[in-house]
Amino acid sequence: MSTHEKKIDEQTLDALLYLSRLSPESTNLEVLRSQVDQIVGYFDLLSEYDDSQNPYDAYPATQAENLREDEVVSGLAISDVKKVSEEFMDGYFRVPKVLGEGA
């Protein structure tokens, strides 16, 4: 791992115990402390690699000029919507009940 080892302090260890819902009585604190120190060491090792020149990014940049224009267009007329289904009444589609006694 790295040449300088970071040690976790008592306050951080207490916060980790609280967040993980572990009690100090049921946990070997020295083993947990060494495991957390190892994890922090792995992050130090990963941060040594410079990935700023990586052309294979997971999320390629999107050019703003390639996006569609924001134009207001007319929607469907109510008469056209009524043709979609016979279950259209008072501006709504009637659908089967989803929630009931079994939910």
Question: Where do the structural domains in the chain lie, given as residue ranges?
Answer: 10-47
| Residues facing residue 89 across a β-bridge | 92
- For the record, the structure tokens of 84 come out as 């979609």
Please state, in angstroms and as integers, the Cα–Cα distance from residue 86 to each residue in 22, 66, 75, 97, following that order.
58, 40, 20, 17
pLDDT tens for 19-29 read: 988 888 887 88
CA 95 to chain centre: 32
Count of Cβ atoms closer than 10 Å to residue 25 Cβ: 6
pLDDT tens for 33-91 read: 888 888 888 888 888 876 676 666 666 666 766 777 788 988 888 888 888 888 888 88
Own/partner contacts of 47-55, CB < 8 Å, gap of 24 or more, are: 48/2
